[in-house]
Amino acid sequence: MKVLAAMSGGVDSAVAAARMVEAGHEVTGVHLALSRNPQSFRTGARGCCSREDAHDARRAADVLGIPFYVWDLSERFAADVVDDFVAEYAAGRTPNPCLRCNEKIKFSAVLERGLALGFDRVATGHYARLLPGPDGVELHRAVDGDKDQSYVLGVLGPEQLARSAFPLGDTPKPQVRAEAAARGLLVADKPDSHDICFIADGDTAGFLSSRLGSQPGAVVDTDGTVLGSHEGTHGFTVGQRRGLRLGVPAPDGRPRFVLDISPAERTVTVGPREALEVRELEGIRPGWTGQAPVAEWHGTVQLRAHGEALPARAELRDGRLLVRLERPASGVAPGQAVVLYDGTRVVGSATIDSTRHGTTGARDAQPVAAR
Amino acid sequence: MSARVYLDHAAGTVVSPAARTALVEGLALTGNPSSLHASGRAARRLLEESRESLAASLGAHPGEVVLTSGGTEGDNLAVRGGWRARRAEGRDAVAVSTVEHLAVAATAAALAEDGGRVVGLGVDADGRVREDVWDRVDERVAVASVMWVNNETGTLQPLDRLVEACRRSGAWSHSDAVQAVGVLDVDFAASGLDLLTVSGHKLGAPVGVGALLVRREVRLHPVGSGGGQERDIRSGTVPAALAAALAAACAEAVAGRAEHRRRASELTGRLLAGLAASGLEGWRRNGGGEVSPAVVNLGFEGVRADDLLMLLDAAGIDCSTGSACSAGVVQPSAVLLAAGADEATARSALRFSFGPTTTAEDVDALLRVLPGAVRTARRVA
Ligand SMILES: Cc1ncc(COP(=O)(O)O)c(C=O)c1O
**B144 and B31, same structural domain?**
yes
Question: Which residues on B lie below 8 Å from A116 (Cβ)?
Answer: 376, 379-381
**A116 and A36, same structural domain?**
yes
List A residues 42-101 in contact with B (Cβ-Cβ < 8 A): 51, 54, 58, 67, 69-72
Residues A69, B380: C-beta atoms closer than 8 Å = no
Q: Is residue A182 part of a domain?
A: yes
Q: CA-to-CA distance for B172 and B195, rounded, in angstroms?
A: 8
Interchain contact A40–B (C-beta under 8 A)? no
**B275 and B168, same structural domain?**
no
**A42 and A19, same structural domain?**
yes
* The last residue of a domain, from among B255, B282, B315: B255
Q: How do residues B286-310 score in pLDDT, each as one tens digit? A: 999 999 999 999 999 999 999 999 9
- Residue B205's SS3 state is coil
* The last residue of a domain, from among B209, B230, B255: B255
Q: Which of B314, B329, B376 sits opposite A72 (nearest CB)?
A: B329
Residues A58, B328: C-beta atoms closer than 8 Å = yes
**B281 and B219, same structural domain?**
no
Give the pLDDT score at A369.
42
Give the pLDDT score at A38.
56
**A231 and A97, same structural domain?**
no
**A282 and A256, same structural domain?**
no
Residue A212 annotated in ligand binding = no
**B83 and B197, same structural domain?**
yes
Q: Is residue A19 part of a domain?
A: yes
**A320 and A178, same structural domain?**
no
Count how many Cα atoms sit within 13 Å of the Cα of residue B334 in the half-sphere of its side chain.
16
Q: Is residue A195 part of a domain?
A: no
Q: Which residue's CA is the nearest one to ligand 1's atom 5?
A: B71
* Predicted model pTM: 0.90
Q: How do residues B326-336 score in pLDDT, each as one tens digit? A: 777 888 999 99
Q: Is the pLDDT of residue A247 over 60?
A: yes
Point out the least confidently predicted range of B95-109, B169-183, B264-278, B328-342. B328-342
Residue A7 annotated in ligand binding = yes
For a pLDDT cut of 70, what percent of chain B falls above it? Answer: 99
Q: How do residues A307-316 score in pLDDT, each as one tens digit? A: 999 999 999 9
Q: Is residue A336 part of a domain?
A: yes
Nearest Cα residue to B77 out of B90, B88, B65: B65
E strand or H helix at B352: strand B349-353
Q: Is the pLDDT of residue A112 over 90?
A: yes
- On average, the pLDDT of chain B sits at 96
Residue B103 CA to ligand 1 center (angstroms) comes to: 7
Cβ(B240) to ligand 1 under 6 A? Answer: no
Give the pLDDT score at A368.
42
Residue B178 CA to ligand 1 center (angstroms) comes to: 6
Radius of gyration of chain A (CA): 21
**A221 and A89, same structural domain?**
no
Residue A17: which pLDDT band, with cuts at 50, 70 and 90? very high
Q: Is residue A206 part of a domain?
A: no
Q: Is the pLDDT of residue A193 over 80?
A: no
Q: CA-to-CA distance for A2 and A20, rounded, in angstroms?
A: 10
B325 is catalytic: yes
CATH number at residue A222: 2.30.30.280
| Mutant choice from B2, B311, B326 vs A, greatest count of A C-beta within 10 A | B326
Q: Is the pLDDT of residue A37 over 60?
A: yes
Nearest Cα residue to B231 out of B92, B107, B103, B81: B81
Q: How do residues A125-168 score in pLDDT, each as one tens digit? A: 999 999 999 989 999 999 999 999 999 999 999 999 999 999 99
**A339 and A228, same structural domain?**
no
Residue A6 annotated in ligand binding = yes
Say if strands A345-356 and A337-342 run parallel, antiparallel, or are unpaired: antiparallel
Cβ(B71) to ligand 1 under 6 A? Answer: yes
With beta carbons less than 8 A apart as the criterion, state whether B300 and B350 touch.
Answer: yes
Q: CA-to-CA distance for B231 and B85, rounded, in angstroms?
A: 14
Residues B376, A72: C-beta atoms closer than 8 Å = no
**B106 and B27, same structural domain?**
yes
Give the pLDDT score at A62.
96
Q: Is the pLDDT of residue A364 over 50?
A: no
Q: How do residues B333-372 score in pLDDT, each as one tens digit? A: 999 999 999 999 999 999 999 999 999 999 999 999 999 9
When pLDDT is averaged across residues B68-97 and rounded to a whole number, the result is 98
Q: Which domain holds residue A169?
A: 2-189
Nearest Cα residue to A74 out of A102, A33, A113: A33
CATH number at residue B131: 3.40.640.10
CATH number at residue A349: 2.40.30.10
Beta bridge partners of B66: B212
Q: Is residue A325 part of a domain?
A: yes
When pLDDT is averaged across residues A285-314 and rounded to a whole number, the result is 93
Q: Which domain holds residue B22?
A: 17-255
Q: Is residue A351 part of a domain?
A: yes
* The last residue of a domain, from among B233, B255, B277: B255
**B155 and B112, same structural domain?**
yes
- Split into its structural domains, chain A has a count of 3
Residue A41: which pLDDT band, with cuts at 50, 70 and 90? low
Point out the least confidently predicted range of A189-203, B53-67, B227-241. A189-203
Residues B328, A113: C-beta atoms closer than 8 Å = no
**B276 and B206, same structural domain?**
no
Question: Which residues on A lie below 8 Å from B310 (Cβ)?
Answer: 28, 67, 69, 117
CATH number at residue B318: 3.90.1150.10
Q: Is B30 exposed, middle or buried (0-12, 13-18, 19+ CB in 10 A)?
A: exposed
Q: Is the pLDDT of residue B98 over 70?
A: yes
**A164 and A23, same structural domain?**
yes
**B186 and B80, same structural domain?**
yes
Residue A187: which pLDDT band, with cuts at 50, 70 and 90? confident
Q: Is the pLDDT of residue A39 over 80?
A: no
Point out the least confidently predicted range of A215-219, A355-359, B101-105, B219-223. A355-359
Cβ(B174) to ligand 1 under 6 A? Answer: no
- On average, the pLDDT of chain A sits at 89
**B280 and B172, same structural domain?**
no
- Split into its structural domains, chain B has a count of 2
Q: CA-to-CA distance for B339 and B346, rounded, in angstroms?
A: 10
| Mutant choice from A70, A108, A110, A119 vs B, greatest count of B C-beta within 10 A | A70
With beta carbons less than 8 A apart as the criterion, state whether A238 and A271 touch.
Answer: no
| Mutant choice from B304, B318, B329, B376 vs A, greatest count of A C-beta within 10 A | B329
* The last residue of a domain, from among A174, A189, A204: A189
**B240 and B91, same structural domain?**
yes
**A151 and A43, same structural domain?**
yes
**B307 and B208, same structural domain?**
no
Q: How do residues B149-160 score in pLDDT, each as one tens digit? A: 999 999 999 999
**B224 and B82, same structural domain?**
yes
Q: How do residues A57-109 score in pLDDT, each as one tens digit? A: 999 999 999 999 999 999 999 999 999 999 999 999 999 999 999 999 999 99
Q: Is the pLDDT of residue B134 over 60?
A: yes
Q: How do residues B13-48 score in pLDDT, each as one tens digit? A: 999 999 999 999 999 999 999 999 999 999 999 999
**A328 and A311, same structural domain?**
yes
**A224 and A179, same structural domain?**
no
Q: List the beta strands (DSSP E) in chain A.
A: 2-6, 26-33, 68-72, 121-123, 128-133, 136-141, 164-165, 217-220, 226-230, 257-262, 267-271, 278-288, 297-302, 310-317, 320-329, 337-342, 345-356
Give the pLDDT score at B112.
94
Residue B227: which pLDDT band, with cuts at 50, 70 and 90? very high
Point out the least confidently predicted range of A94-103, A353-362, B151-160, B252-261. A353-362
